[in-house]
Amino acid sequence: MKIAGKDQSAVELVKTALEKAHEYQKDYHVFTWINDAALKRAVEIDEKIVRGEEVGRLAGVPYALKDNFLSRDGETTASAHILEGFNSPITATAVQKLEAEGAIMIGRTNLDAFAHGSSTENSYYGPTKNSKDLERVAGGSSGGSAVAVALGIVPFATGTDTGGSIRQPASLNGVFGLKPTYGTISRYGVVAMASSTDCIGFFTRKASDLDLLMEICAGQDPKDLTSLPDYYKGSSNGFDDPVKKIGIIRDFDNEAVAPEIRQALREKVDELKAAGHEIIELDMPALKHALAAYYIIVPAEISSNLSRHDGIRYGFRSEDAGDLSRIYQNTRSEGFMPENKRRIMIGNFVLSSGFYDAYYLKAAKARTLIIKEYEKAFEQCDFLLTPVGPSPAFKLGEKTHDPVAMYLEDVMSVPLNLAGVPGISIPVGKTEAGLDIGLQLVGPRRSDRGLIRFATQIAGEVQVREDDSLDINFENGEL
């Protein structure tokens, strides 16, 4: 950054970020809430610096928080009506770690309600607009976070990725988006979507900036029993060989993928070959079942996780609440968005008596095949390179009335979540219309550091530094 210090104060960094947040909010609708009180924390950081006290590796760095992370700052709504007015009594582990290092949250970013969507059009507060075209979607569900980074409002933003919700909006807005290995960062304090596929990650403008964020946030958390022991720090995970074997999935290069994305993939492959890397073409037939399996397994978990929102304990309650049955029915009918209801109904159906074996059990078996498919692929190569999705940013409203078309935007991103492997979206160019194009670099489980280092390399940046300081500097609104 440069982080707050003798060259720039925390107040200057935060003030600049807040000014940009207010400037862009009207047109792009990035935030659900802007934290003007962040300047008070910036003053505290600057006072510590003057006194010579420890301020952390992210001292004074402003960041944006996806509005499904619990924090005592502002309401946590997950962009859903049913959580309107909810003030969290706890703070998410990832937020605690970032702010312990001096990071300052300047606002909560918009998302598809409960992270259900691929366009940020399912938000109760209205859609976020694409950073390059106000008539197009930002992607989702972490659309607000992606646009906050793409517009240079903040150096980094948090996101959650259950089936592509970091990588897809990162691709559509020309920034880097990391989905780590499942369990690398604690999910404690994040509004649950699907507990077996939810991952915490980040958006940045430089791949190398992801390294420090992972250093800070990775690690086991006793409050999250799915979190992994910290494998990230101090290791490149055995990927030190500068020459890599890169797998290309044949099935992902087809007529359903936009020609400009296919061309971008071919050009990147040519660059990798010219740099001396080996390209291996792969057949991964089990991946064709991933989307169907995902939209059985994930709604099943959603239906369970959303059952807690009933108008009794917290959040919104319908005014038409004459008895207990009406409280439940009317609160959930009024409080959930149509996409939330759709997923709840699908989940209840596939888990119901007589359909569990026909749907959910088969999807679980398909998931096992997908996991084995990735294991087999990584016996032959170090990383995979694929499109993030089949198309650049589409027009607002274009797919809102066609759920299947919207779900197909996730066809290349959901397999990673089912398998638990890490992936990073890398910006590689633009369409003739000026829309951003990203490609997805995928690694085996726990290869996150090697993945970030290779992404840094192929993005034309300087190799990740061995020390854990992050050189972030707000110059012309860029890192």
Residues 393, 168: Cα–Cα separation, whole Å: 9
Nearest alpha-carbon partner for 43 in 2, 7, 11 = 11
**Rounded to the nearest 5 degrees, what angle is found at the Cα of 75, between the Cα atoms of 73 and 76?**
100
Q: Burial of 134 by CB count in 10 Å (0-12 exposed, 13-18 middle, 19+ buried)?
A: exposed
- Cβ-count burial 9-20 (b if 16+ within 10 Å, e if not): bbbebbbbbbeb
End-to-end CA distance of the chain: give it in Å, rounded: 7
Residues 166, 93: Cα–Cα separation, whole Å: 19
Cα-Cα-Cα-Cα dihedral sign, residues 43, 44, 47, 53: negative
Residues 122, 201: Cα–Cα separation, whole Å: 21
- Tell me, what amino acid is at 347? G
Q: Which two tokens stand for residue 12?
A: 């200057």
Residues 63, 17: Cα–Cα separation, whole Å: 9
Q: Which two tokens stand for residue 459?
A: 């993005």
Q: Is the previous residue joined to 141 through a cis bond, with omega within 30 degrees of 0?
A: yes
Q: Which two tokens stand for residue 67?
A: 């509005």
The helix-helix angle for 448-458 and 259-274 (nearest 10°) equals 90
Report yes or no: 181 and 445 within 8 Å, Cβ to Cβ.
yes
Q: Which two tokens stand for residue 175?
A: 């920034």
Q: State the catalytic residues.
A: 66, 141, 165
Q: Which two tokens stand for residue 410?
A: 């996730």
Residues 49, 184: Cα–Cα separation, whole Å: 32
Tokens 């510590």 locate to: 48
Report yes or no: 258 and 391 within 8 Å, Cβ to Cβ.
yes
